[in-house]
Amino acid sequence: MNEIASKPEKAADPTQPAERKARWVYGPLGRSLAPLRTYWRTQVVSDVDHSEVVAKVATECPATPRYIFMVMMSAGIAILGLLLSSPAVVIGAMLLSPLMSPILGVGFALATGKQKWLKISARSLALGSVAAVLFTALIVLVSPLQTVTEEIASRTRPNLFDLMVALFSSLAGSYAMIRGREGTIVGVAIATALMPPLAVVGFGLATFNWTVFFGALGLYVTNFLTIALTATVMARLYGFRTDLSTRQGWFQNVGIFIIFVAMAIPLGLSLRQIAWESNAQRIVHNTIEAEFDPRARISEQEINWEADPLAVSATVLTPEFETDAQADIKRTLESRLGREVEVAIEQFRVGADPGAAEQAELARARAEQQAAATERQISSMVDRMALAAGVTRKDVTLDRENRRAMATAKRLDGLTLAGYAELERRLAEEAPGWDIELRPPPAPIPAITLGEEGPDAAGQRAERTAIWAAKRIGLPLDLTGPEEQVRALAARMREAGVTIGQVNTRPGERIDVSWASMPQ
């Protein structure tokens, strides 16, 4: 017994988890934070019904048909708002989006270590994302508007501010879910960070614009990770019971920290570049403005950031021409921006009247608006012509200078030459001021029936169709019929510009018309 008692006790290993925790809790830092930890546990965490919150989040995570339908409707409204560059419509899409539940489910599942819950939530989010992208791509494919609007472009360059938007959205959503105050507004906050980027991903996919596609996809992934990981941190702070060991919990904490830092660094650099561009935009405007008379107005200003050297162009409405303006502006900008710049300034002289510049700018804006409207009309005309001819837009030849549009139609079963002529007539009615030419395939030409004094009513229509088809296709015609009538018809056709091949005579009450040579 004395021998046993005399043996020295084995020293506690400070590397053990319990020992490390005790040293932290009872150390100087632990003692200073003890009141805050006590307050948090007794006044904040104690009244949270953890089981109810977990059950509520888990119940809303599965990918139900209603969830998929609402995601698609929200995505459809979002892409229409983006195409129309209408923030109000985009906000309306956020009111429908149900993405909050599965993404918070991912965060809470990570915090509690429940693998099955994590798989269900991740699956729902993946299915919803794919459905949203494919549905928006389909809408863009059938839409006549496929221009990258300002609303779309703003979601292709993720930066640190976007991460902060996702962070604040997740904090609000997680808090509302934990405290039992979730609702539409919280869902809107999270959908704001997720649904517009998803819609832009669909736009990039439909238009094969990979810059837009990958830029928006990067924003979506950034926002998704930020929201999910922030929800994980919030759940841990509010004491949700976890199946993770202490070691796993620390690994998770370190992993979340590393992911946030990894995202923040490139996004911070992107924000820095955007801030530099914004400052450069202001410097360019002020430099151009200072070079001209105070009564001058800058009508347009464009900067090509990707050009090397930096390309600056502007249109100035001024009462007096400045001959050295371009060189002076170039020197000033290169000095202030610290890089080589190419400057192109277009000057338009306006009256010295203070309101002359505004009037000139208004007239220019109206002209641009009218030109844009004309472009939309031309695009619509090309679409209709391609549809009527059964070809693609690129197969429609457009001569803007002479206002002429031409297309060679494919053979459509059951459609006669008269039908093609009618299609051309309708297209011409819908495009006043344009010369529309629809070249038909060399289909059989209807016979020209005769009356007592020449072609009857049906024969006259057949004659007009034959002349129209011959002029469009450019092939000669062979005529066979009563001698007097067939020679008179040949004369009329030659006068109309049609080449006549053989003229054969035979008795009868009609004139047969055929192609003299058919394409091989």
Q: Do 66 and 80 reside in the same domain of the chain?
A: yes
Q: Do 344 and 413 reside in the same domain of the chain?
A: no
Q: Do 144 and 77 reside in the same domain of the chain?
A: yes
> Distance between CA 45 and CA 236 in Å, rounded?
11
Q: Can you name the residues that pair with 448 across neighbouring β-strands?
A: 511
Q: Do 209 and 68 reside in the same domain of the chain?
A: yes
Cα angle 82, 83, 86; round to 5: 55
> Distance between CA 326 and CA 291 in Å, rounded?
9
Query: 216-229: per-residue pLDDT in tens?
Result: 888 888 888 888 88
Q: Do 316 and 286 reside in the same domain of the chain?
A: yes
The CATH number linked to 252 is 3.30.300
434 belongs to a structural domain: yes
> Which of 411, 439, 467 finishes a domain?
439
**Residue 520, pLDDT score:** 36
Q: Do 275 and 406 reside in the same domain of the chain?
A: no
> Distance between CA 191 and CA 166 in Å, rounded?
9
Length of the chain: 520
Q: Do 455 and 430 reside in the same domain of the chain?
A: no
CA neighbor of 287 nearest in space, from 255, 326, 317, 258: 326
Tell me whether residue 201 is exposed, middle or buried, using C-beta atoms within 10 angstroms of its C-beta: 0 to 12, 13 to 18, 19 or more: buried
β pairing state of 500-505 and 297-304:
unpaired
Give Rg (Cα) of the chain. Answer: 37
362 belongs to a structural domain: no
**Low-confidence spans in the chain with pLDDT less than 50:** 1-22, 24, 519-520
Q: Do 194 and 314 reside in the same domain of the chain?
A: no
Starting at the edge strand found earlier in the chain, the sheet holding 297-304 runs 297-304, 310-318, 341-349
C-alpha dist (Å) from residue 372 to 27, 96, 208, 397, 432: 72, 33, 24, 20, 17
> Which of 243, 277, 308 finishes a domain?
243
**Residue 137, pLDDT score:** 92
**Residue 131, pLDDT score:** 92
285 belongs to a structural domain: yes
322 C-beta neighbours (distance < 10 Å), count: 16
**Residue 442, pLDDT score:** 84
**Residue 359, pLDDT score:** 57
360 belongs to a structural domain: no
**Residue 20, pLDDT score:** 47
pTM for the predicted model, two decimal places = 0.53
How many domains, in total, are found in the chain? 4
**Residue 9, pLDDT score:** 42
The CATH number linked to 116 is 1.20.1080
207 belongs to a structural domain: yes
Q: Do 100 and 157 reside in the same domain of the chain?
A: yes
> Which of 221, 243, 265 finishes a domain?
243
Q: Do 87 and 216 reside in the same domain of the chain?
A: yes
Q: Where are the alpha helices (DSSP H) in 321-456?
A: 325-337, 356-389, 417-429
One-character DSSP codes across 110-141: HHHT-HHHHHHHHHHHHHHHHHHHHHHHHHHH
Q: Where are the alpha helices (DSSP H) in 150-209?
A: 150-153, 160-178, 184-207
Q: Do 222 and 171 reside in the same domain of the chain?
A: yes
27 belongs to a structural domain: no
C-alpha dist (Å) from residue 157 to 85, 192, 211, 217, 419: 17, 16, 10, 10, 51
Q: Do 212 and 267 reside in the same domain of the chain?
A: no
224 belongs to a structural domain: yes
**Residue 249, pLDDT score:** 63
For 120, the domain range is 50-243
306 belongs to a structural domain: yes
C-alpha dist (Å) from residue 282 to 219, 274, 285: 27, 13, 5
